[in-house]
Amino acid sequence: MSRVAASGTAGLPTLAGARARGTPIVMLTAYDHPSGRVAAEAGVDVVLVGDSAAMTVLGHTTTRAITLDELLMLTRAVRRAVTSIPVVGDLPFGTYEESDALAVATARRFMEGGLCDAVKLEGARDMLPRVRAIIDAGMPVVGHVGLLPQSVTSSDGYRAQGRDADQAVQIIRDAEALAAAGCSALVVEAVPAEVASLLSSRVEVPVIGIGAGASTHGQVLVYHDLLGLGEGRVARFVRQYAHGHRDQVEAVRRWADDVRTGRFPAGAETYGIAAEVMAEVHARLD
């Protein structure tokens, strides 16, 4: 497979260009056609169809629960909406770790027919051969270091990483190894700002942070977090720009109330028919 961007997009090189110009990169997750349209119309630079869909749209308590077919279906819906900026597909837990052949086959499912411009996978060290195999097969890879949600097995596992020297050095070494393996960009999640800043200065590729401070080359947030579409507490690195869940509950409540009190539907929300046509309907039935 050649390194051709999905039709209509310039692919991940646009991110390298943004880093070179010092323009912050804006990445947002999307999981379906409406969220893809919002991301595209709002002018983000790149869309990630994250395996966070397992939690945000499928109701699981871990990202590990989403299947390949489920994530591919969501990715297709996003791609129908996002045609002129790159889309990155997240390789789900259990679909790439075991062997290079499996990693390449799974990555191909995301890249076939221009569905995605790149794939993302979590981890370094044991995953470096997988990263190299996918890149050797002609498909761009985004690496992911720091907090690795697919390695979290309980809710208290979502903690900042790299807060002691050993871990911080390891995360930076992991990022360097992924960049040297040929990753086109890196996501760094939930690490102290100073560590992310040092990491960003030590690799040549764009580094996109989530909970990693302001010195990375870009930022990514989860769509549902940014728009307040989830329930309950959000991580400290989330800034909510809307209260989508609360506002939608309120809207549905008002509609239900209007139905129950006869205020919905009104005349303007109703189709009409000419009186003589209706008379004929009656006549024929009688």
Active site residue ranges: 189
Report which of 41, 36, 46, 42 is spatially closest to residue 10, judged by C-alpha positions. 46
Whichever of 161 and 276 has its CB closer to ligand KIV, that residue is 161
Whichever of 11 and 146 has its CB closer to ligand KIV, that residue is 146
32 belongs to the binding site for ligand KIV (CB under 6 A) = no
Among 35, 52, 106, 216, binds ligand KIV (CB under 6 A): 52
* Tokens 């580094």 found at: 207
Q: What are phi and psi of 119, to 5 degrees?
A: -120, 155
Half-sphere exposure of 4 (CA within 13 A, CB side): 9
Using CB atoms, what's the residue nearest to ligand KIV? 50
Q: Report, in angstroms and rounded to the nearest whole number, the Rg of the chain calculated over CA atoms.
A: 23
206 belongs to the binding site for ligand KIV (CB under 6 A) = no
187 belongs to the binding site for ligand KIV (CB under 6 A) = yes
225 belongs to the binding site for ligand KIV (CB under 6 A) = no
Q: In the bound complex, what is the minimum distance in angstroms from residue 112's beta carbon to ligand KIV? A: 21
Structure tokens at 75: 């990715």
DSSP label of 281: H
90 belongs to the binding site for ligand KIV (CB under 6 A) = yes
For the four alpha carbons of 98, 101, 102 and 107, in that order, the dihedral sign comes to positive
Distance of CA 68 to the CA centre of its chain: 15
| Binding segment (CB under 6 A) for ligand KIV, from list 43-51, 72-80, 167-175, 265-273 | 43-51
| Binding segment (CB under 6 A) for ligand KIV, from list 44-52, 107-115, 123-131, 226-234 | 44-52
211 belongs to the binding site for ligand KIV (CB under 6 A) = no
210 belongs to the binding site for ligand KIV (CB under 6 A) = yes
Helix or strand or coil: residue 46?
strand
